Structure 1
Amino acid sequence: MRMIVALVLALGVGLAGFAVFMAQDYMAEMSVQRDQLLAAQANTPQLMDVAVAKRALAYGERFTMEDVEIIKVQAGKAPAGAYAAITGPQGDPNAPRAVFFDGETRPRAALRSYEPLEPLLETKITEPGVDAGIMANLADNMRAFTIDVTATTGVSGFLRPGDHVDVYWSGRSGNSQVTKLIQPNVRLIAINQNADADRSEETMIARTVTVEVSPEQVAALTLANATGQLNLALVGTINSNAVAEIEINTDQLLGIKQKQVVAVEAERVCTIKTRKGADVIETPIPCATE
């Protein structure tokens, strides 16, 4: 009997020791997992709120706050002009930038097409209550000026709203035909009557283009259009060098050098006239110096 009790006690002690060992091993494993989780959380990038389109939006389509939702993106990775809230107070500089102010019921409109979950950008949507169009594309204190073009003068259908062009004037100046760059890097806001930069046609031969210019540029382009022909040159997306003044005439184009006429002063001849009877005689004399 004593032998059985001793065996039971020994077995109990063994099981207890094994349980303690297993518990210690489990606690050590949990501690390692906890440290790994804390390290992973410390290395996780910070997130920020960004307002995105909840559904696809076509150019000019109106949308309300029901069409907007908030998603999380990595902090510092949101595009410029993105919003951080759907609604927010007006006039509070500490509040996140919101698509709509509190209490706003007027819709906004898309100035380009949007895909679902694409961030809404300040420069790519209209103000509340404003529809997409020419007025929505104009910057502050700028004007819309329309230029008649052809396939030749309008870059053969490769123009799109939002592109930039150089405007050249060709006409007569004095006795020569002249072409001059008069307005560099002007932004297009409409082709024909279409301000949609996402239009699907591969090419559209423009009959008119509408450019965004200052009031002074409007006056210059009006005069240029009335006195000669305007031609457009498409500016590339990579355009880091400033364009110098450009002007060329027919003689420069063909390499013709104008002959310089040097005026030669005729030799002065001084004479004195004397009368002998009915005759008048001229006698050369030295000319007085001035």
Structure 2
Amino acid sequence: MRLVFGFVLLIGIGLAGSAVYLAKDYIGQQQAQLAEAERAKQAIVPTVDVFVVNKQMRYGQRLTKEDVKLVRWPEEAVPEGAFVSEEELFPSNGQELRSVLRTMEPNEAVLAVKVTQPGQDAGISSRLSPGNRAFTIRTDVTAGVSGFLRVGDRVDVYWTGAVGEGQNLTKLIQPGIRLIGINQSADEDRNGPVVAQTVTVEVGPQQVAALAQAQATGRLSLSLVGADDSIVSSAVEVDLGDVLGIEDERIVEAPKEEKCFVRRRQGEEIISVEIPCSN
């Protein structure tokens, strides 16, 4: 009897141990699944709908509803100027379409800087900031940086002409102004070299007057500013003497010796007689 009781006890202890082991394993699996779910939850980031183009769009094309689609975009990584609603991108139910200013590749976000305002063409007027004006400068292969200029570049403008008594002078008159057109094109995506006969710049009304006066009285030359250069050129003025290293020679006249005279009458004549000066 005791032998049977001991045998049953051993079986009970074994079953209990198995149950504890299985329960521990189950609880461990549940905890692992909960941890995995928590990690997946943390990996999920808030998103918003952003309009992207569904095909390549080039300069001058009209942007229609058929050219775009909505995609989910991480909320913290939405580009500045992106369109997140149809009312923003196509006001008036698409009656006034925007024009493309820069080439966009498929699935690229539509940004405000890459399209015009509704109803505008991709011309010079669409690139002007409020209050600024477009001014065209005559140029050639040497004055125009040998064809390396592109729309969107910044240039320094130098004036060369005669001042005063025939003195030739070169002076920086407008630093860091932006090009918005080359010849008759405002396309920023033109990669081939173009020898510019004219360039159009964006300047204020006062700068327009200064450039017009300078162009009428001398020759304008352009100097290309680096893309990442944020330093504004200071005053620059050079004449032929500076180039050749010729110093101005000033002629200093020696002071003239002072002379004193007295007048005397001799008969009908008046003569001057030199005398020592009292001072």
1:59 corresponds in structure 2 to: 59
Output the CA distance in 2 between the equivalents of 1:161 and 1:208: 12
2:190 corresponds in structure 1 to: 199
Conserved 8 A contact 1:69-1:86: no
Unpaired stretches in structure 1, ≥5 consecutive residues: 1-10, 89-97
Output the CA distance in 2 between the equivalents of 1:86 and 1:129: 18
Q: 1:140-179 CA distances to partner (integer Å, 9 max, x unpaired)?
A: 1111111111110001111111111000000001131100
The CA RMSD over aligned residues, in Å, is: 2.6
Q: What amino acid sits opposite 1:123 in the alignment?
A: V
Output the CA distance in 1 between the equivalents of 2:271 and 2:21: 149
1:227 aligned onto 2:249? no
Residue 199 of structure 2, aligned match among 209, 227, 231? 209
Summarize the alignment of residues 248-267 of structure 1 with structure 2, pairs less than 5 Å apart.
Answer: 248-267=238-257
Conserved 8 A contact 2:91-2:118: no
Q: 1:73-119 CA distances to partner (integer Å, 9 max, x unpaired)?
A: 33332332222x2323xxxxxxxxx3233634221111011001111
1:187 corresponds in structure 2 to: 178
Residue 246 of structure 1, aligned match among 236, 239, 242? 236
Residue 143 of structure 1, aligned match among 133, 154, 169? 133
More off after superposition, 188-197 vs 40-49: 40-49
Unpaired stretches in structure 2, ≥5 consecutive residues: 1-10
Q: What amino acid sits opposite 1:38 in the alignment?
A: E
Q: What amino acid sits opposite 2:247 in the alignment?
A: K
Shift of residue 280 of structure 1?
4.1
2:145 corresponds in structure 1 to: 155
Conserved 8 A contact 2:51-2:68: yes
- Go from structure 1 to structure 2 and tell me whether the alpha carbon gap of 1:64 and 1:19 turns closer, same or farther (over 3 Å shift): farther
- Go from structure 1 to structure 2 and tell me whether the alpha carbon gap of 1:77 and 1:288 turns closer, same or farther (over 3 Å shift): farther
Q: 1:176-219 CA distances to partner (integer Å, 9 max, x unpaired)?
A: 11000001111001111111110242x11111111111111111
1:80 corresponds in structure 2 to: 80
Conserved 8 A contact 2:176-2:232: no
Identity of aligned residues (%): 43
Output the CA distance in 1 between the equivalents of 2:96 and 2:154: 32
Query: Which SS does the other structure have where 2:108 is aligned?
Result: coil
